[in-house]
Amino acid sequence: MAEIALLDQDTIDKIAAGEVVERPSSVVKELVENSIDAGATAVTVEIKEGGISFIRITDNGCGIPKGQVSIAFLRHSTSKIKSVEDLINVSSLGFRGEALSSIAAVAQVELITKTIPDLTGVRYVIEGSLEKEKEEIGAPDGTTILVRNLFFNTPARRKFLKSPQTEAGYISALVERLALSRPDVSFKLIVNNQTKLYTSGNCNAKDVIYQIYGREMTAALIPLEEKNECFSVTGFIGKPAVSRGNRNFENYFINQRYVKSPLIARSLEDAYKSFLMQHQYPFCVLYFTFAGEQLDVNVHPAKMELRFHAQEEIYNKLYECIRGLLMGQEHIKTAILETPAPKKETAPEIKQKGGFPEPFEKKRLEQLKAEVQKDSAYEPKYPGKALENSVPMALTAKPGYVQEELSYEGKFLSELAKSQHKIIGQLFDTYWMVEYGEKLFIIDQHAAHEKVLYEKTLRSLKEKDFTTQLMSPPMILSLDTQEEQALTVLGQHLKMLGFEIEPFGGREYAVCGVPGNLFGLDARQVLLEILDSHEEIKKASTPELALEKIASMSCKAAVKGNHALKPEEAELLITELLELDNPYFCPHGRPTIISMGKYEIEKKFKRIV
């Protein structure tokens, strides 16, 4: 057996650094959080080569007293907590006391700091945990920390870093999250001598969202505010039209700390079910406040994960809040026909005409910028990169295609509107056209019928008014092992639907009764499809969500496209659709209704110039 021995201090420091400093963004995170905890109202982050060769963090916080500068770089030195009891109610972003020590163990660090009462500041240099210099100098109030040559003494770790561009991307995403978490703090990010982000620190979260995500996202925000016995939350959720294909746009902060929470993500995404297509995720910026005793923040070294008490109550309260907000909106897309862009001339064609005129794209960009500045529904005090980011999206719209925008006027579903709808015909045996006011509404009959059947099935499930139609003789099914297990798991749900199933010997089962209102569906096919989906249904976090998944099976009975409905059938379908709480999306998240304004149509016919 090998002899047991104590590690030397240098090895201990580098092991500890490995837990805290993974890449340049880890350094930025720890230092900026220290700045915020020091009361800074302005923080500047400057990096070069992705932060590998150079990081500078400057703040206007309280600074570090001269006599405590050296102590600050010792392991487990912190001003945030004094005893284990303080961990319960810790409110600062950093409290472990390992950040400065870990960074100094694997980089060349220079610190310049001054407290408000002092006349002079301190310059302190430490490299690889070894003190190099300490002197008095003139300095402004606050702290500046320079970190050079990260992992200079641990080349094995340095080679695992990615390219400077990728590392810079990590830092940019981090600073954006920090800026969102603290709208009261002004953040500035400089990458290779270019300013990439600047926020004003004016306490307006919407300003920060505009700077980071641009005009389109800012215009599609729904304000949220909720307070209950579990938590309080404020912020914004995005309308379904601005969903994304990954969870990167889900931002939630607990007690001003950015975290990842499967509980909150699941509640948020479940609330958006039937509003979004599969594999689409919502946008949100939510600020939660929890009492300290309801959280355990000392779970993960990076403090990115939390444990909650009363998880089920938190899930339900958040789900109900977000779902209620979405149900209170009208989500009808307005279609705007784009004018095809003129043919782009090639270089030889231009040369034959005797010159190289200014490109169309440049002229159009200038026009769009002017339109955005003139007509923007939301004008920030500090315009930044977001304006330029929002304009080229319009330039890249495919010529001749339909560009969709959102209308939330709340008129199409009013009682008065329902009595004034005028069905004017069916298009391509698939879409029904309804005239109302100054708009033409186009309804997808398949998506609409799916939604009506889904809501009917779900309502019947919840109210337990399904009837059973007895079968004579019974329908015999042979199930494999997985289907048998699914039948055991979902037996109660199937009984609620109206199925009566009994063992028939071996792996065969007799279906003695089927739901009496399957809307013409093949009962055998529905049953097998439910059994095949048992894994997804089993994952549902609440019985209600399990019922919703089962109800979605009813969509198979919906009338398909290219099927001519009689006018009276279409009238009944549209009436049933508009009586629903959420008629705007089918159960799979596709829109059921779009609209086109009279003004836009008349422009195409040159009635309006």
Please tell me the predicted confidence (pLDDT) of residue 551: 62
What would the pLDDT profile of 117-150 be if each residue is shown by its tens digit?
999 999 999 998 899 999 999 999 999 999 999 9
Within a domain: 250: yes
Within a domain: 492: yes
Do residues 483 and 562 both lie within one domain? yes
Whole domain around residue 538: which residue ranges?
424-609
Within a domain: 374: no
Do residues 147 and 14 both lie within one domain? yes
Q: Chain centroid to CA 190: how far?
A: 25
Residue 100 vs residue 400, higher pLDDT: 100
Do residues 465 and 563 both lie within one domain? yes
Do residues 163 and 283 both lie within one domain? no
The mean per-residue pLDDT over the stretch 60-73 comes to 91
Please tell me the predicted confidence (pLDDT) of residue 498: 80
**Contact status, residue 184 vs residue 178, Cβ threshold 8 Å:** no
Please tell me the predicted confidence (pLDDT) of residue 543: 56
Choose one of 173, 198, 223: the last residue of a domain: 198
Predicted confidence band of residue 302 (pLDDT cuts 50, 70, 90): low
What sign does the dihedral 442-421-445-425 (CA atoms) show?
negative
**Contact status, residue 287 vs residue 339, Cβ threshold 8 Å:** no
Within a domain: 373: no
Do residues 187 and 220 both lie within one domain? no
CA dist., res. 125 & res. 99, Å (int)? 16
The tokens for 531 are 């059994």
Within a domain: 389: no
The owner of tokens 């700045």 is 35
Within a domain: 408: no
CA dist., res. 362 & res. 385, Å (int)? 18
Do residues 184 and 224 both lie within one domain? no
Do residues 472 and 429 both lie within one domain? yes
Do residues 584 and 442 both lie within one domain? yes
Q: Please tell me the total count of domains within the chain.
A: 3
CA dist., res. 275 & res. 331, Å (int)? 9
Do residues 228 and 164 both lie within one domain? no
Residue 290 vs residue 61, higher pLDDT: 61
Using N-to-C axis directions, what is the helix angle for 543-551 and 445-463, rounded to 10°?
A: 140
Please tell me the predicted confidence (pLDDT) of residue 479: 83
Within a domain: 371: no
Percent of the chain with pLDDT over 70: 70
pLDDT at 521 over 80: no
Do residues 500 and 594 both lie within one domain? yes
Q: Tell me, what CATH number does 604's domain have?
A: 3.30.1540.20
Do residues 164 and 258 both lie within one domain? no
Within a domain: 391: no
What sign does the dihedral 425-429-432-438 (CA atoms) show?
negative
Lowest pLDDT segment from 223-232, 392-401, 414-423, 470-479: 392-401
Q: Tell me, what CATH number does 307's domain have?
A: 3.30.230.10
Q: Tell me, what CATH number does 158's domain have?
A: 3.30.565.10
Could you list the beta-strand ranges (E) of 214-356: 221-227, 232-238, 250-254, 257-258, 284-289, 295-296, 307-308, 332-337
Do residues 23 and 160 both lie within one domain? yes
Please tell me the predicted confidence (pLDDT) of residue 194: 95
What would the pLDDT profile of 319-374 be if each residue is shown by its tens digit?
999 998 988 776 776 766 665 454 444 444 433 444 434 444 455 455 545 544 44
What would the pLDDT profile of 82-107 be if each residue is shown by its tens digit?
444 444 454 455 444 478 888 998 99
User: Exposed/middle/buried for 191, CB within 10 Å: 0-12, 13-18, 19+?
Assistant: buried
Predicted confidence band of residue 467 (pLDDT cuts 50, 70, 90): confident
**Closest of 389, 386, 547, 385 to residue 466, by C-alpha:** 547
Choose one of 279, 307, 327: the last residue of a domain: 327
pTM, entire model:
0.64
Choose one of 167, 198, 229: the last residue of a domain: 198
Please tell me the predicted confidence (pLDDT) of residue 88: 46
Please tell me the predicted confidence (pLDDT) of residue 560: 64
